[in-house]
Amino acid sequence: MVEIKEGFSKLEHRYLFQEIARKVADFQKESPGTDIIRMGIGDVTLPLVPAVIRAMHAAVEDMASKESFHGYGPEQGYDWLREAIVRGDYAPRGIDVSADEIFISDGAKSDLGNILDLFSRNNSVGITNPVYPVYVDTNVIDGREIHFIDCSAANGFTGDIPSRPLDLVYLCYPNNPTGAVITREKLEKWVAYARDCGALILYDSAYEAYIRDPEIPHSIYEIPGAKDCALEFRSFSKTAGFTGIRCGYTVIPGGLMGLNALWNRRQGCKFNGASYISQRGALAVYTPEGRAQIQENIDYYLGNAAILREGLERAGLEASGGENAPYVWARTPEGADDWAFFDLLLRKAGIVVTPGSGFGTAGRGFFRLTAFADRARTKEAMERLVALCAG
């Protein structure tokens, strides 16, 4: 008889965003005339920048002739993209990462889930709380023991270093959902912890392009010793609007626990490379025009984040994040339950947010707003919120 992996029965019934979509759809059925502003899901809304579009059109043209056609590419990604990443993302920060330590993928979510192929089910896992749900769900599926590291305003939403040794530790900065960033000093402490107890840090820096404060590290490898204890996951999704194109990369240092060779073997066995067209698009992100154009989009989103912060303040709500991240994290008024506040915002103001408890128990009493909506709609949402809280 076919037996299904036990972990699936331990997953929360629905993925958070499916639950939100269901509630919004139900409300739309009840009240079809309501103009709904979606500040919930973390998807970008601006189109791809011209430099990327041009590169991808050219890549399609390559596919149209025998001489420049590309079939299967290297599973690790094309060397020209891996080298551009070294030159564009690491060398300028004085970080020694080589092209063969970079693996191109179809996005960070796949790599964050798939990386667990390398690790025994016996490993203990540390996960900050609240958190991007993928880290939790992928470990629940495998049946690993999870130790939650609570993040609160008191520790700047960066969690206290655990007093017990753990095997795998997930860190995500700038953070989804809190929009918090981590200081160099705090990240040094995490690296020291990992080196001390032999833990491996899985560092998700999908939002590093949003960092504006020059003191905040963009990569864990800015910390000396991190190459001995950390992998880094990055994505073109939020940097360059690739959520629908799909391209990201993972850095696996050469000398680290033999993981580079194992991942190479794993990818050779289960992955056939990201598409040539996506990788050509990603390459354009590193050209001077591409860089300038994506910066404009990121500035636009950060401008929205500033509007969210200001609106929440006017509404009298406590908020953080949004300065070096596209997410703003706010406390519900008067300790209201966050799902109840979600319903109130939807029904009375037509605004969709993400309830904090959807990201873990430590998110109770909070909600997340994203800066990815249209500017005018972001302003409109804040006017509605201010009116609701005043009323």
Q: Interface with ligand PLP by CB under 6 A: which residues?
A: 42, 107-109, 132, 172, 176, 204, 206, 235, 237, 243, 248
Closest CB 250 distance from ligand PLP, rounded Å: 10
Residue 218 backbone dihedrals phi, psi, to 5 degrees: -90, -30
Sign of the dihedral defined by the CA atoms of residues 176, 17, 386, 297, in that order: positive
* 202, β-bridge pairs: 170, 231
Shortest separation between residue 237's beta carbon and ligand PLP, angstroms: 3
Which residue bears the tokens 């996506």? 278
Q: Residue 206 or 371: which CB sits closer to ligand PLP? A: 206
Nearer to ligand PLP, 248 or 350 (CB): 248
Closer to ligand PLP by CB, 366 or 386: give it.
Answer: 366
Q: Nearest CA to 253 among 90, 135, 142, 116?
A: 90
Smallest distance from ligand PLP to CB 35, Å: 26
Q: Are 95 and 323 spatial neighbours (Cβ–Cβ below 8 Å)?
A: no
Distance CA 91, CA 99 (A): 11
E strand map for the chain: 37-38, 102-105, 124-129, 145-150, 168-172, 200-204, 230-235, 248-251, 319-321, 327-331, 351-352, 354-355, 366-370
Residue 282: CB minimum distance to ligand PLP, A: 11
Which helix (H) or strand (E) segment holds residue 5: the answer is: none
313 contacts: CB under 8 Å, gap ≥ 6:
319
Q: Which is nearer to ligand PLP, 139 or 237 (CB)?
A: 237
Burial class (CB in 10 A: 0-12, 13-18, 19+), 272: exposed
- We find the least distance from the C-beta atom of residue 286 to ligand PLP, in angstroms, to be 17
Nearer to ligand PLP, 175 or 385 (CB): 175
Q: Which is nearer to ligand PLP, 113 or 333 (CB)?
A: 113
Q: Which is nearer to ligand PLP, 206 or 223 (CB)?
A: 206
In 3D space, the residue among 173, 286, 149 whose CA is nearest the CA of residue 226 turns out to be 173
Q: Interior CA angle at 42 toward 40 and 47, to 5°?
A: 120
Question: CB of residue 248 vs ligand PLP: minimum separation in angstroms?
Answer: 4
Q: What is the Cα–Cα distance from 152 to 132, expressed in whole angstroms?
A: 15
Residue 172 or 385: the one with the smaller Cβ distance to ligand PLP is: 172
Of 138 and 176, nearer to ligand PLP (C-beta) is: 176
For residue 297, the minimal CB distance to ligand PLP (Å) is 16
Q: Least distance to ligand PLP from the beta carbon of 24, Å?
A: 18
CA distances from 190 to 158, 160, 231, 248, 312 (A): 10, 9, 13, 24, 32
**Residue 13: DSSP 8-state:** S
- Least gap, CB of 105 to ligand PLP (angstroms): 8
